[in-house]
C-alpha cells in the first residue's frame, strides 16, 4: 500500500506518519527530513537546498522530484509520503513516475487544521537534537523543559519554526499546496481528518477510514 499524507506545517503530519508507517509497515519518506539530513551532513545537495529550507521557501520542483523519485526507486514495498507532493507540478511528476512503474496511491490522507491552530502549534514545537523525538510544549510537553524523555538529548526549535518563517510557510501552503486538496479529492481515495483532535484519535480515524478503502489490516 502507498499513501500520501497532506496537511499544513504543524498539522501533525510527522507524528502521524511515524505511527502509520509502523502500523502498516510502510517506508516513511519525508522530504523535509531528507533535506535536513543533507544540510546537517553539509553535502552538495544540503548546500543547494539549505537556504530554501531555513527561510521557509519551497525547494524547486525539479530538485525535490529528482531526490524523491530516486528514493522511491530503491523501495520494494509500500511507502508513506510526508511533505511530498507540495505543488501541482510535483503531484503530476509523481503520477507519471508511479504510472511508469505500475504503482498506485491507495489513499491520500488530508490532516485539516485551522491557520490559528497551526501558528500556535508550530511555535510550541520542539524536537530532540539527538534521536529526533517530537514534542509540543503545550500538547505534548517533555518531563523536563529542555531534555528529551527518551534519550536525554537536548531539545531544539527548528530554524523554520520561528515566528516570521511560520507565516511565510503558511503563505506557501495556502498558495501552492492547498490546491492539491482539490486535485486529490477528485482523483484518489481521499480521506479528510480533523487534525485538531488528539493525535491518538486522528490515528484511529485514519486507520478506520483506510480499512474502508481496502487497506490491509494494521500490524
The set of catalytic residues is 13, 86, 125, 158, 169
By the 8 A CB rule, do 170 and 9 touch?
yes
* 90: its cell numbers: 510535483
**Residue 202 burial (10 A CB sphere; 0-12, 13-18, 19+):** buried
Beta carbon nearer to ligand AMP, 64 or 215 = 64
* 124: its cell numbers: 510550541
* 96: its cell numbers: 507519471
Binding site for ligand AMP (CB under 6 A): 9, 31-32, 35, 52-53, 56-59, 64, 83-86, 90, 160, 169
Beta carbon of residue 147, minimum distance to ligand AMP (angstroms, whole number):
23
Phi, psi of 58 (to 5 degrees): -80, 140
Beta carbon of residue 9, minimum distance to ligand AMP (angstroms, whole number):
5
Beta carbon nearer to ligand AMP, 31 or 203 = 31
Q: Which residue is nearest to ligand AMP (CB)?
A: 32
Beta carbon nearer to ligand AMP, 24 or 84 = 84
Phi, psi of 144 (to 5 degrees): -120, 135
Beta carbon of residue 100, minimum distance to ligand AMP (angstroms, whole number):
20
Amino acid at each position: 500500500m502507498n499513501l500520501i499524507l497532506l496537511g499544513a506545517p504543524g498539522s501533525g503530519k510527522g507524528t502521524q506518519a511515524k505511527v502509520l508507517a509502523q502500523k502498516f509497515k510502510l517506508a516513511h519518506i519525508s522530504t523535509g527530513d531528507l533535506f535536513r539530513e543533507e544540510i546537517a551532513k553539509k553535502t552538495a545537495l544540503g548546500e543547494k537546498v539549505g537556504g530554501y529550507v531555513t527561510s521557509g521557501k519551497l525547494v524547486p520542483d525539479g530538485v525535490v522530484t529528482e531526490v524523491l523519485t530516486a528514493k522511491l526507486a530503491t523501495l520494494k514495498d509500500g511507502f508513506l509520503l510526508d511533505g511530498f507532493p507540495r505543488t501541482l507540478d510535483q503531484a503530476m511528476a509523481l503520477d507519471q513516475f508511479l504510472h511508469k512503474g505500475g504503482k498506485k496511491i491507495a489513499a491520500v490522507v488530508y490532516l485539516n487544521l485551522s491557520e490559528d491552530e497551526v501558528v500556535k502549534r508550530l511555535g510550541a514545537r520542539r524536537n530532540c537534537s539527538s534521536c529526533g523525538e517530537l514534542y509540543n510544549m503545550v500538547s505534548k510537553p517533555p518531563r523536563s523543559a529542555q531534555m528529551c524523555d527518551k534519550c536525554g538529548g537536548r531539545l531544539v526549535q527548528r530554524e523554520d519554526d520561528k515566528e516570521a518563517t511560520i507565516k511565510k510557510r503558511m503563505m506557501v501552503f495556502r498558495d501552492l499546496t492547498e490546491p492539491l486538496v482539490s486535485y486529490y479529492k477528485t482523483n484518489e481515495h481521499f480521506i479528510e481528518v480533523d487534525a485538531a483532535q488528539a493525535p491518538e484519535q486522528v490515528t484511529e480515524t485514519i486507520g478506520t477510514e483506510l480499512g474502508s478503502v481496502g487497506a490491509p489490516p494494521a500490524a
